[in-house]
Amino acid sequence: MKYLDEYRDPKLARLVLDKIFESVSRPWSIMEICGGQTHSLVKNGILEILPKEITMIHGPGCPVCVTPINLIDKAILLAENANVILCSFGDMVRVPGSRKSLLQSKSEGSDIRIVYSPLEAVKLASQNPDKEVVFFAVGFETTAPTNALSVVQAAKMGLANYSILTSHVLVPPALNALLSDPESTIDGVLAAGHVCTVMGFKEYYPIAKKYKTPIVITGFEPVDLLQGILTTIEMLENQRFDVINEYGRVVEKEGNPHAMAIINEAFEVSDRKWRGVGNIDNSGYQLREKYQNYDADLKFAIKMNEVEENAECIAGSIMKGQKKPIDCIHFGKKCNPENPLGAPMVSSEGACAAYYHFSHSLFQNVS
Amino acid sequence: MTFKEHYRFSLNRPAPTLDSDIITLAHGSGGLLTNRLLDNGVFELFDHSELQKREDGAVLNLSGSVAFSTDSFVISPIFFPGGNIGELAVNGTVNDVAMTGGIPQFLSLAFIIEEGLPVADFWEILLSIEHAANQAGVKIVTGDTKVVERGKGDQIFINTTGVGRLHQRALLDSTRIKPGDSIIVSGNVASHGMAILSKREGLEFETDILSDTQALNDLTVKLLDEFGHDIKVFRDPTRGGMATVLNEIAGQVDLGVALESEELPILPAVKSACEIFGLDPLYVANEGLFIAIVSKKVATKMLDILRGTEKGKDASIIGSVVEDHPGKVTASSGLGGKRVVSMPIAEQLPRIC
């Protein structure tokens, strides 16, 4: 496949890896922001072949993992309303709420549909005028354009029975929060290519400067990630704190203006709570006033009490990069994909799931 | 799917005239309408002596060891790119019998139809069953038709059971698997699962990917004729894909399975679709290929023979059985690292981004 196979070429990867070995002279910790990057690092065995000086810290870029637990409960409550069809992205449905997951609710009889695009949910709303169709709109900047588009489209079609339950979060404010944490050990950052595809990367310059932390935008294939690590190491070794785009085949500095325009049409920036991390100012999206009729939160006005996270789960520390999945005493034992204690074990972008599914040497110790 | 793709067989062989365009409860009630459906549909198509006797069951003439397998088919959608539930029901059971080293000869065929199924669709399914049975060289000798109320089923469910004598040279037994044995896959992986996904409500995408549904008994018989005891097991990696079958085998024999990711045959369109949906092709369903675990000494020759056939032209040696990591399956990454291919927990779901 063009633009994929080249970036999986073992020879090229080896060449970049050799350069990393040549460049590194002392220990560095690099955070990859996105769960997709984490999965690729683990799946391709890159963590095993990097020089021992380099520690990869797994970041919070797993949309499913940062969706607050009471919002999942809220989605389940909505789905249990016989008049509601709840639509969700696939990997949201296994994430445990405080009582159960959406998948469990579905087997109990709730009408929950897995869709690939929120526009499918809009279609369902127009086909089922007697039902309320709610789309569980979670994600980072990557899913924001289509989620926004679904609302704009529904408004154009005059659909009164479509709404979205929003948990949209943004990367740069979270990165700011992580780097400003006095306990942060992050020396360099691999920014997520897909997020920058939508938003560009201008927002990262002040962050790199303020925290003296080089930021490199990467793709998700082995060569992309190795090249990102190399560029980060070279900047760190030379005390350069810049932003470099190593995903030039996809990412433009200004982002995708069409996508940003549609986001801007439907959403405005708001404070958001991140599961495991806490409240971060201006770190998410909410629907603008003119689209309030499409806000499931307002439409159904469900009051939820704050619920406690499972105390045994260290997902928060993992999301902040302070701990690794294998630091958890429950990893692979009490907590596994069948019976997860927290979201990172079930999401396809969760760090715990990556370690559980793909990590050969680590997995042997826990089974 | 276009009309032409949907009605591949019945376009030139229109359905017999019944009293109704849809199947109704009366068609399954055992009375006149049932007979009309059977007379004009089933019996006319599957025209051979065992079935025409119209007894409650068939009397078969079998001797020696007999292979025997059953499977139920509940696929949704019932018509999909490259096939429909009918041929799937024939091929699936034919393949299950073939995987035991059997030579499938006879099938039973039982329908559970939800009231409201268009007769035209049922007819198309019947014709495709006839076609698949002819292709696989099996006779349908007994069957049953039940109709359930609307909402009590999902259009149509089919159960088939297959029997056939065991191939004389077959000694398929996973306990005979030894470290060093080669693992061969007979064709491109993940096509069926991605063809189905492309038509599933909420996930539709435009693609030319076709299901690989096909009978494999001609291939397994050919290989058993040639290699006999050097074949340790055949398995067809249907639901749960290659990862499930290989993990099952590794668990049964307490040996490791080491796959070479680069050797996995997959069509470019299927690979792209898997990338887009974030699915691992090793976990995606197949309906027309098998995995063979064979003595290393015959692997290359077997590959040559397979590649000389139409159904096996994309066959590949994808790895070997190893003493390392007993009970686990690994895949090399090509970068020197490797990963565990774990047993799937549940159906893979498309990811968010």
pLDDT of residue B351: 66
List, in sequence order, every residue forming a beta bridge with B293; answer none if it has no partner.
B183, B233
Residue A98 maps to a domain? yes
In angstroms, rounded to a whole number, what is the distance separating the alpha carbons of residues B52 and B65? 27
Question: B272-316 pLDDT, tens per residue?
Answer: 999 888 889 999 999 999 999 999 999 999 999 999 999 999 999
Chain-chain contact of B333 with A222 (C-beta, under 8 angstroms): yes
A25 φ/ψ angles, rounded to the nearest 5 degrees: -120, -10
The band of B45, judged by pLDDT with boundaries at 50, 70 and 90, is: confident
pTM over 0.80: yes
- Percentage of chain A beyond pLDDT 90 is 75
pLDDT of residue B333: 75
Q: Are strands A188-192 and A215-218 parallel, antiparallel or unpaired?
A: parallel
Residues of chain A numbered 110-129 and touching chain B (CB < 8 Å): 113-116, 120, 124
What's the domain range around A289? 65-170+255-300
Tell whether A10 is within 8 A of chain B (Cβ). Answer: yes
Residue A208 maps to a domain? no
Query: Measured between CB atoms, which of A91, A124, A363 is closest to B340?
Result: A363
Judged against a pLDDT cut of 70, whether residue A365 lies above it is answered with no
The band of B353, judged by pLDDT with boundaries at 50, 70 and 90, is: low
In angstroms, rounded to a whole number, what is the distance separating the alpha carbons of residues A108 and B161? 32
In angstroms, rounded to a whole number, what is the distance separating the alpha carbons of residues A150 and A137? 10
Q: How far is B348 from chain A (nearest CA, A)?
A: 9
B322 φ/ψ angles, rounded to the nearest 5 degrees: -130, 160
CA A89 to chain centre: 13
Domain CATH number, residue A150: 3.40.50.11740
Collapsing DSSP states into helix, strand and coil, what is residue B226? helix
Q: Provide the ipTM.
A: 0.75
* Whether A347 contacts A91, CB under 8 Å: yes
Question: A304-344 pLDDT, tens per residue?
Answer: 887 878 889 999 888 888 889 999 999 989 998 888 888 89
Task: Walk me through the domains of chain B, giving residue ranges and CATH numbers.
Answer: 3-166 (3.30.1330.10), 174-340 (3.90.650.10)
Chain-chain contact of B334 with A140 (C-beta, under 8 angstroms): no
In angstroms, rounded to a whole number, what is the distance separating the alpha carbons of residues B29 and B333? 58
Task: Provide the 10 A C-beta neighbour count for residue A138.
Answer: 26
Element holding A125 (H helix, E strand): helix A118-127
Give ∠ CA A164-A166-A172 in degrees, rounded to 5.
Answer: 145
H helix intervals, B118-240 = 119-136, 191-197, 217-227
Q: With CA atoms as reference, report the closest residue to B70 among B191, B172, B158.
A: B158
Q: How far is A352 from chain B (nearest CA, A)?
A: 14
Chain-chain contact of B275 with A349 (C-beta, under 8 angstroms): no
Chain-chain contact of A43 with B339 (C-beta, under 8 angstroms): yes
Looking up tokens 């201008």 gives A202
Chain-chain contact of A1 with B350 (C-beta, under 8 angstroms): no
Mean pLDDT over the full length of chain B: 90
Instruction: Specify the higher pLDDT residue, B47 or B332.
Output: B332
List, in sequence order, every residue forming a beta bridge with B316; answer none if it has no partner.
B185
In angstroms, rounded to a whole number, what is the distance separating the alpha carbons of residues A75 and A87? 10
In angstroms, rounded to a whole number, what is the distance separating the alpha carbons of residues B275 and B272? 5
Q: How far is B284 from chain A (nearest CA, A)?
A: 15
Judged against a pLDDT cut of 50, whether residue A363 lies above it is answered with no
For an interface test with A, the pick among B276, B283, B339, B353 (most A C-beta atoms closer than 10 Å) comes out as: B353
E strand intervals along A35-186: 54-61, 84-88, 112-114, 132-139, 162-169
A121 φ/ψ angles, rounded to the nearest 5 degrees: -70, -40
Tell whether B333 is within 8 A of chain A (Cβ). Answer: yes
Residue A308 maps to a domain? no
Question: A112-150 pLDDT, tens per residue?
Answer: 999 988 999 999 999 999 999 999 999 999 999 999 999
Helix B85-99 and helix B119-136, axial crossing angle in degrees, nearest 10: 30
* Whether A349 contacts B278, CB under 8 Å: no
Identify the DSSP state of B174. G
B327 sits in the region (left: phi over 0; alpha: psi -120 to 50; else beta) called left
Q: Which residue on chain B is closest to A136 by alpha carbon?
A: B352
pLDDT of residue B47: 63
Q: How far is B331 from chain A (nearest CA, A)?
A: 9
* Whether B189 contacts B241, CB under 8 Å: yes
For an interface test with A, the pick among B194, B283, B335 (most A C-beta atoms closer than 10 Å) comes out as: B335
In angstroms, rounded to a whole number, what is the distance separating the alpha carbons of residues A264 and A258? 10
Half-sphere exposure at residue A250, Cβ-oriented, CA atoms within 13 angstroms: 18
Tell whether A109 is within 8 A of chain B (Cβ). Answer: no
The band of B49, judged by pLDDT with boundaries at 50, 70 and 90, is: low
Residues 6+ apart with CB under 8 A from A107: none
Looking up tokens 């991390």 gives A277
Judged against a pLDDT cut of 90, whether residue B44 lies above it is answered with no
The band of A44, judged by pLDDT with boundaries at 50, 70 and 90, is: confident
Query: A3-12, B30-39, B130-139 — which is least confidently predicted?
Result: B30-39
CA B25, B29, B31, B33 torsion: positive or negative?
A: positive
Residue A116 maps to a domain? yes
Q: Which residue on chain A is closest to B337 by alpha carbon?
A: A45
List, in sequence order, every residue forming a beta bridge with B235; answer none if it has no partner.
B291
Q: How far is A362 from chain B (nearest CA, A)?
A: 10
- Find chain A residues with C-beta within 8 A of B337's C-beta: 44-49
Instruction: Specify the higher pLDDT residue, B2 or A341.
Output: A341
Identify the DSSP state of B22. B
Question: A78-99 pLDDT, tens per residue?
Answer: 999 999 999 999 889 989 899 8
Tell whether B4 is within 8 A of chain A (Cβ). Answer: no
How many separate domains does chain A show?
1
E strand intervals along chain A: 28-34, 54-61, 84-88, 112-114, 132-139, 162-169, 188-192, 215-218, 243-245, 267-274, 278-287
* Whether B204 contacts B276, CB under 8 Å: no
Question: B249-275 pLDDT, tens per residue?
Answer: 999 999 999 999 889 999 999 999 998
Instruction: Specify the higher pLDDT residue, B204 or B108.
Output: B108
Chain-chain contact of A113 with B201 (C-beta, under 8 angstroms): yes
Chain-chain contact of B349 with A44 (C-beta, under 8 angstroms): no
The tokens describing B213, both together, are 């549904």
Q: How far is B298 from chain A (nearest CA, A)?
A: 30
CA–CA distances in Å: residue A190 to residues A217, A233, A254: 6, 11, 18
